[in-house]
Structure 1
Amino acid sequence: MSTDYNYDDQAQFFPYFILTISALVAIPTTYSVLKPSKELADTATRIEPTAKVKYQDVIEGHRKVEKRKELKTKRIWTAVLAWSMIAYMFYLIMVTARTALKIWDPYDVLGVARSATEKQIKSHYRRLSLTYHPDKAQPDASKNTTIESINEQWVEMTKAFKALTDEEIRNNYLQYGHPDGKQSFSMGIALPKFIVSDGNGKYVLLIYGLLLGVLLPYFVGRWWYGQQKRTRDKVLVASAGHLFKEYDHEITEGGVINALSSGQEYQDMLEGSKADHGISKLEQRILAPGQFPATAAGLSLKDRKKLEELDEGARRKALALLWAYLGRIELDDKELVSEQYQVAPTARLLNQSFVSIALAYMNTAPLLAAYHASQHIIQAIPPGGSPLLQLPYFTPDVVRSIEGAESRTHLTVQGLLELSDAERRIRCVSSGALSKEQYNTSMAVASQLPLLKVESAFFKVVGERFITPSSLVQFVVKARFVPPGKKDLPPVDPKELEDPDPVEGDLDALHGRKKEDKEAEAGKPIQPPLAYAPYFAQDHAPQWHVFLADSKQGKIVVPPFSFSTFNKPLFDKMGEPSYAIQTLKMQFGAPPQVGRYTFTMNLVCDSYIGMDTRQEVTLVIDEASKAQDIVEEEDISEPEEDSIAGQVSALKGDHVPRKKKPAAATAEDSDDESGTDEEDDVSETDTDTDTDDE
C-alpha cells in the first residue's frame, strides 16, 4: 500500500495541531494556578474579632492588590485563553466535514439492511435508479443539487451495488474495504495549503523570522532580566545596593526606617508628579507636636534631622509616608492616604533584605533593630511606641490614660493582662478611656496573641554524654504558647522537657532536620494565626527567629534559625490553648577550645512588639579524653577465673567470676553461671546549662 503525503488544504487536520499546542500550554498553566498554595499566609487562621479602623476600605483595597500579585493574574488569563482555544478547536472538529476519515459502507450508501438478500438489493437498486439516475434526476437550486453532485451520487450508488452483487468487486470490498481494491494511504499534513502556495513563501519566512529572531529572544531576555534584577529576597538589586550603603553597626530602629526609604521600588511607585504631590502638607502633619513625645508621628530629633537632610524627591516622600503610616496620621488627601498604606508592605520586603545585610556583618544591634523595625511596620507603631497600641481601640491618648501620664516605661500586653480584672476595668473603662464593648473586644484579641514562653534551653550532642571541641552541637529550646497574662498554667511534664536521642536509622533527626508530625505530613502545617495587624495592607504569617549572641562583643555567634510552623497543635479540639511543649532546634559547630561559653539567646517574633525573650545560656566544652574514659570504663569487664588476671585476683582473695559458657549450654549449667552486672546505657547526652532570665 503506497503512502501519499499532501497538504491539508481543507483545514481538516489543522484543528488537531492547534488543539495539541493549546493543551501543552493549558494543562501545566492550569495546574500551577489550581494547585494548593504553600504560602503560609493562605492557610493560617485569623484572630477574631476584628475591629474596623479608619480608612478600612483603603487598606482592604491594597490587600486585594497584594493578593492579586500573589495569584499571578497573567497565568490565570493564559489558562483561560488556552482552554477557550481548545474548546473552539473541538467545535471545529465536530462540525467540519472530514470525508477522508469516513468508512465507506455500501449498505449505508444504498440504504438497505445488512440482512437483505441479493434479490432484495437488486430490487431496491432498480427503484433508486428511477429517482437518482442522471437521466431521471434534475438539478434543484433550492436543494443545492447540481449535475455534478447528481453524477457523483449515482457513481457511489453503482459502486455500492456492484460491491454487494459482483463477485470480484465484493471480494475487493471484503478484503480491502473498497470496491476498487487496495487504495493508497493519504496523510494530511496539518498545515493549510495557502501557507506553502506560490508567492506566500516570503511571508512565511517573515513570520518565522519574527517568531524566532524577535519575539522569542525578547521574551527570553525579559524573563532572564527579570530574574537577574532581583535578589533572593525578591527586592531589586539596586535597592539592595542602596540598603548596603545605609548600613551602620550602630543603626537604630529609626535608622532602619530611614534606610528602607532608599529602595528603588519607591522610585517606581512615586514616579513623575507623585513624588512632589502633597509633600509639604505631609511633612507638616508628621512633624507637628502631637500624640508622641517628639512629633505627631513619633520621629525622634535624629530621625527628623535625617528627613530634613534628604533632597526633594521620591525618597523623601517615601520616608514621610512611612512615618505617617507608623504614626497613624490622618491625612485629608485621598491620594496621600492611599500611598500612606501602600508603602508598608514594600518596606517589610525591603527590611528582609536589610536583615540579610546585617547578618553578613554578624553584629547583634543592627539585626535586632531590623527585627524590631519589622514589628513596628506590621503593627503601624513608631519606634518607642507603646506595645498596647497593638490592641484594637487603643490610641496614644488611651495608652497614656491607662499607663499614667507620669509613667516613663510602657506597659506590655502581657503586663496589662497580668493585672486583676478589676484593676484593668478601672484603668480602661472607669477612667472613660474605653467603652465596655471596646474593652471586651480588646481583651478578646489580647488573649489570642501568640506569646511563646521558653520553659527550657540547653545544648547537647546526639549520642554523646559530653560536648567536646569542634563537635556538632544542637541547641534545643523547649517552649509553649501561652495566652498573655495567663497565670494558672498547667504544670509541665518533666519528660517533655527532655530531648531523647533518635532511634538508630532516623537520619532526619540525626542531622537535625525538622520532622513534622502526622498532621503536618498530611499537608496541614501547624501554625499560629495570621498576625493581627489591622493597618498592615497584607496578610502576614508570623515568624520566630532564634539566634545566639556574644553580649560582650556585640556579635552573633550562631545565625538565626527561623520557625513559622510547629510540631504540636496550638489549640485542642475545643479551641482552647493546648499548652503543648514545642521543640525548636538549631545546629552548629562547637568551639575548638575547652571551657565554659556564656551566650545570650534571643527569641524574636517579627510581628508583635514586647514579646521577645532574652536569656543567658552556658555551653560547657569538655576534653575529648573525658568522653573517651567513660567509653573505656563501660567496655572494661572483670577478669575471668581462667585468665592470668583472674588467677592473680583469686590469690589476693578477690571474687572472680567464672568463665561464661557458650549459648548452647544446658539450663542446669547456666544456673551455676555467674556474670557481671551491666550498667544500662544512657542515650541522652544533655549538658546542664545555666539559664537565667534577664
Structure 2
Amino acid sequence: MRLGPRPALASHRTRGGERCLSKTPSPRQKNLDDQKEGLLGYDDTAFYYFFSSVLVTVAVPWTCSVIYNFLFPGQAQVEKDFPTKSKSGSRYHYCQSSQMVDKIEKARQKARRASAGSSFTMIIKLSLLAGIWLTIYLIHVHLGDAKEIKRFDPFEILEVSPGASATEVKKAYRQLSLKYHPDKNPDDPLAASRFMQITKAHNALTDETAKANYEKYGNPDGPQTSKVGIGLPRFLLEKENHLMILCLFFFLLLFVVPMAFICYYQRTKNYAANGVMIETLQFMGYYINEATRLKNCPELLAASAESRGMSLRPSDNSEMKTLSAQVVEHKKRQFTAPIIIKNNFLLLGHMQRLHHLMSDDLRADLDEMLRHSQKITQAMIEIACMREWFFTAQAMIEFRRSLIQALDVKSSQLLQIPHFNEEILKHCLKGKNATSTLLDYLQKDRDQRKGLTTMSPDQVADVEAFTAHVSNMELKAITEVEDEKDIVVGDIATVTCQLTRKNLQEGEAMGPVHAPFYPEPKFEEWWIFLVEGAPNTRIMGFERIRDTDRVVETKLRFQVSRPGKHSLTVHALCDSYVGIDQKVDLNFVVHTEEEVKREIFVHPEDEDLDLQPTLFQQFMGELGGDDESEEEEDDDKSKGKSKVEKLSDGKQQKADSDNEDDKKGEDSHSSGSDSDGD
C-alpha cells in the first residue's frame, strides 16, 4: 500500500558507461541543496578579519594602559587630581608647604595602591589580556595559511593539478563521487552538497562550454551577479542554529536590554542633574530660609539624604563619647535621628579640628561626608541665589570654606596659616602691627608679620609658601550700556567684572588650595554677586567662576527700571579661603528718555539694503513674472479693443445723429409743402 506518489526515477549513463538510477529532485529539495552548497562554499575569512580587528582595538589600549601603570603606578590618577596644566594651557602653581607636599605624596601612594589592586584582580586582568592576544595570534596564523577568500575552483575540488588530463580528472571524479555519495554518508548533512560540487567540477573540466565559461568568468555557469555580505561566522547561517540564535536574540532584546535600562534608571532616578539626591534638594529647599546662617549649616548637611544613607556601626557609641564630650554645639538640635546626630558631631569636630579624637572608622565617615559636601553646599548656594537672599548665600559660602579649611563658626581667619595656634594668635592681636584678618597679614611685609619668632626655619618656610600661594585678588568693575554713552530707563546695563591674581605670573594658573584637613584636592572658586544697596541687599545677578587663570573676566546684566541715582555693590566671594573677599561699590545715574534724546543713525548701506527686494520677494517675482506679462498683454489688448470700440461707437453715434437730422429735415420739408397746398 502506497501512501503517496512514487518518486520519479531518471536513468542516466555516465561517461564511463555505468548506468545508474537517481531520483528527480523536487524544487524544495533543490532549494535545500543550493543552501547546503552555499554553506559548504561559505568562507569565514571576512569574519576572522572583523573579529580580529575588534580584538585589536580592545587589546592595544588595554595593553598600553597596563604597561603605563606598571612603569608609572598611579600616575594617571595623580595627573587627574593634581594636573600640571589648565585647560587654557597655563601652568598650575602649587603650594610648596610641607603639609601640602606630604598630602600630594600620600595621594600618590594611595593611587599606586589603588592601581595595583588585589593580586587576584590583577591575575584576572592579565589572564583576560593574555587570552585576547592568544586569540589574535591564532586568527593571524589561520589567515596566514588561507590563500584567499574561498571561491569555486574545480581543480581544488577534484584535488587535481591545473594541467591534469581528462583521464586524471575522470579518475579523481570516480574516487571522490564514491567517497562522498549521499547514500554512503547518511549521517553527514553536507555530503549531498559535496557530491554536487564534485559533479559540478567534473562537468566544468569535461564540458567545453563550462570550461570556457570558467576560464573567462571564473564560473562554469557563465557571468554571475555580485553578492555583498557581512563578516558573519558560518554557524550563524546554518539552519540548525536558527532557533537558538532567534531565542538568544529575543533574550537579549526583551530581557537583558530592559533590565540594564531598569537598573540604570533605578540608580539615577534619585539624583538630580548636579549629582545631588532629589530628596536632599527638596529637604534643603524647605529648611533653608532668609534667616539661615553658618551655625545652622552643619546640622542641615548632616540631615541630607546622602548623610542619612550612611550606616551605623555597633562601635560608634563608644567611639563617639570622647568626641561628643569635647565638641561645642552652637545651636539647639533640630533633628534627633541617631545618624544625623553622629554626622553633625563629626562635622563640628572637623570644624573645631578635633581629628585626634576620632578613630579610623570615624575619620573615614567624616571623609565621606566631606566628599558629599561639595555638591550639597553647591546646591545650598544656588537655592539662596535663586531666592535672591544675599546674606543666606554668603552664609552658605562661609560654611563651605569652613569645611575646606576646618574652621569653626567663631574661629580666627589666621588659623588657616600653617602652624598657627591659639598662643600665636594672642601674640598677633597685641602690640604694634597687630593683625586680625588674613588679608591684612598677607599684605604686610615679611618683617612686619607676627608669630614667626617662635617657629623653626622649616615652619617659617611653610608660612612663606602659604602666603605666596593664597590668591591676592584684585577686583575691578564698571557699569555701562553697550554702544551707548548714557544709561536710560529700560536699558539693559552690563557690569563688567575683572579679577586679577596679582601673585601669579603670566602663563600661570592657581593650583589646589592649601587645605591639609580636606580629603581631596580642591581648586578655588569665586562667586560674583551684584547686590542692591542697603537696606534691600537683593541679588540682582550672580556668576560662578571656576577659571583659575591669572586674569578672569565676567559680565552681569540687569535691566534698569527707574531713573535717578543708583547704588550697587559687586561682591567677589572665595569658597576656599576665609578673609580674602573683595567688593566694589558702583554709583551711576539713570536718565529718562526725555532727558536723553538718542539719535538713530542708519548707515547708507543699510538704507540701500532696505530698498532691495527680499529673497522671498525675488522668488515670488520670478514665479509670477509670466503671469504678470500675460496679464499685461491682456490689459494691452483690452485697452486697444476698448479704444477701437470707443471709436466705432463714436462714429456710429455720429451717423445716427446725422440720420436723425436728415429725417427731421425731411419731415419739416413735407410739413411745409402741406401748408402751401392748404
TM tier, smaller: 0.5 to 0.7
CA apart distance, 1:314: 1.8
Relative distance call for 1:183 and 1:362 in structure 2 (3 A) is closer
The answer to whether the 8 Å contact 2:289/2:392 transfers is yes
CA apart distance, 1:447: 1.1
CA apart distance, 1:247: 0.9
- Alpha-carbon deviations, 1:361-408, whole Å to 9, x = none? 21111100011111112222223322233333x24335425424899x
Of the candidates 49, 53, 76, which is equivalent to residue 96 of structure 2? 49
Q: Residue 616 of structure 1: SS of its match in structure 2? A: strand
The answer to whether the 8 Å contact 1:457/1:475 transfers is yes
Of the candidates 43, 47, 51, which is equivalent to residue 16 of structure 1? 47
CA apart distance, 1:131: 12
Aligned to 1:588: 558
Aligned to 2:465: 444
CA apart distance, 1:353: 1.0
- Alpha-carbon deviations, 1:421-444, whole Å to 9, x = none? 3343xx3332x2x21111112212
CA apart distance, 1:461: 0.4
Relative distance call for 1:196 and 1:533 in structure 2 (3 A) is same
Aligned to 2:401: 375
Relative distance call for 1:110 and 1:301 in structure 2 (3 A) is closer
Q: Which has the higher helix share?
A: 2
Aligned to 1:416: 441
Relative distance call for 1:61 and 1:389 in structure 2 (3 A) is farther
CA apart distance, 1:240: 1.1
CA apart distance, 1:546: 1.0
Aligned to 1:453: 474
- Alpha-carbon deviations, 1:539-596, whole Å to 9, x = none? 3322211112234344433231122227xx63xxxxxxxxxx6533212222x21011
The CA distance in 1 between the partners of 2:588 and 2:55, in whole Å, is: 58
The answer to whether the 8 Å contact 1:544/1:563 transfers is yes
- Alpha-carbon deviations, 1:598-645, whole Å to 9, x = none? 1222111111111111332223211123331x638999xxxxxxxxxx
The CA distance in 2 between the partners of 1:537 and 1:286, in whole Å, is: 22
Aligned to 2:522: 540
Aligned to 1:468: 488
Letter in 2 for 1:584: T
CA apart distance, 1:109: 9.3
Q: Residue 99 of structure 2: SS of its match in structure 1? A: coil
Q: How does 1:515-664 map to 2 (within 5 A)?
A: 527-565=509-547, 570=550, 582-590=552-560, 592-628=561-597, 631=599
The CA distance in 2 between the partners of 1:245 and 1:232, in whole Å, is: 19
Of the candidates 365, 379, 383, which is equivalent to residue 339 of structure 1? 365
Q: Residue 547 of structure 1: SS of its match in structure 2? A: strand
CA apart distance, 1:215: 2.3
- Alpha-carbon deviations, 1:176-232, whole Å to 9, x = none? 21457567988888366589766984x656544432333222222333444432123
- Alpha-carbon deviations, 1:341-373, whole Å to 9, x = none? 222121121111111221232111110001111
Matched, 1:263 2:307: no
Relative distance call for 1:166 and 1:197 in structure 2 (3 A) is closer
Relative distance call for 1:608 and 1:537 in structure 2 (3 A) is same
The CA distance in 1 between the partners of 2:600 and 2:291, in whole Å, is: 52
Of the candidates 308, 311, 322, which is equivalent to residue 284 of structure 1? 322
The CA distance in 1 between the partners of 2:131 and 2:285, in whole Å, is: 48
The answer to whether the 8 Å contact 1:243/1:262 transfers is no
The answer to whether the 8 Å contact 1:364/1:549 transfers is yes
Of the candidates 390, 397, 400, which is equivalent to residue 425 of structure 2? 400
Q: In percent, how many aligned pairs have the same letter?
A: 15
TM-score normalised to structure 2 length: 0.62
Q: Residue 579 of structure 2: SS of its match in structure 1? A: coil
The CA distance in 2 between the partners of 1:245 and 1:21, in whole Å, is: 58
CA apart distance, 1:460: 0.2
The answer to whether the 8 Å contact 2:203/2:210 transfers is no
Q: How does 1:218-257 map to 2 (within 5 A)?
A: 218-257=259-298
Aligned to 2:384: 358
Relative distance call for 1:129 and 1:204 in structure 2 (3 A) is closer
Relative distance call for 1:159 and 1:458 in structure 2 (3 A) is closer
The answer to whether the 8 Å contact 1:15/1:89 transfers is no
Q: How does 1:19-38 map to 2 (within 5 A)?
A: none
The CA distance in 2 between the partners of 1:365 and 1:442, in whole Å, is: 32
Q: How does 1:45-194 map to 2 (within 5 A)?
A: 45-52=92-99, 60=107, 88=135, 91-92=138-139, 95=142, 101-103=149-151, 121=163, 168=209, 170-178=211-219, 190=232, 193=235
Relative distance call for 1:88 and 1:448 in structure 2 (3 A) is same
Q: Residue 617 of structure 1: SS of its match in structure 2? A: strand
Relative distance call for 1:417 and 1:226 in structure 2 (3 A) is same
Q: Residue 597 of structure 1: SS of its match in structure 2? A: strand
The answer to whether the 8 Å contact 2:541/2:557 transfers is no
Relative distance call for 1:535 and 1:261 in structure 2 (3 A) is same
The CA distance in 1 between the partners of 2:531 and 2:158, in whole Å, is: 95
Q: How does 1:384-395 map to 2 (within 5 A)?
A: 384-392=410-418, 394-395=419-420
CA apart distance, 1:531: 2.2
The CA distance in 2 between the partners of 1:110 and 1:634, in whole Å, is: 91
Relative distance call for 1:530 and 1:340 in structure 2 (3 A) is same
The CA distance in 2 between the partners of 1:173 and 1:232, in whole Å, is: 67
Aligned to 2:452: 429
Aligned to 2:350: 325
The CA distance in 2 between the partners of 1:465 and 1:348, in whole Å, is: 43
The CA distance in 2 between the partners of 1:417 and 1:195, in whole Å, is: 77
The CA distance in 1 between the partners of 2:47 and 2:438, in whole Å, is: 66
Letter in 2 for 1:613: Q
- Alpha-carbon deviations, 1:466-498, whole Å to 9, x = none? 1111211110224421239xxxxx9xxxxxxxx
The answer to whether the 8 Å contact 1:365/1:554 transfers is no
Relative distance call for 1:344 and 1:334 in structure 2 (3 A) is same
Q: Residue 531 of structure 1: SS of its match in structure 2? A: coil
Computing the radius of gyration from Cα coordinates, the structure with the larger value is 2
Q: Residue 243 of structure 1: SS of its match in structure 2? A: helix
Relative distance call for 1:48 and 1:420 in structure 2 (3 A) is closer
The answer to whether the 8 Å contact 2:235/2:241 transfers is no
Aligned to 2:619: none
The CA distance in 2 between the partners of 1:542 and 1:199, in whole Å, is: 61
Relative distance call for 1:465 and 1:51 in structure 2 (3 A) is same
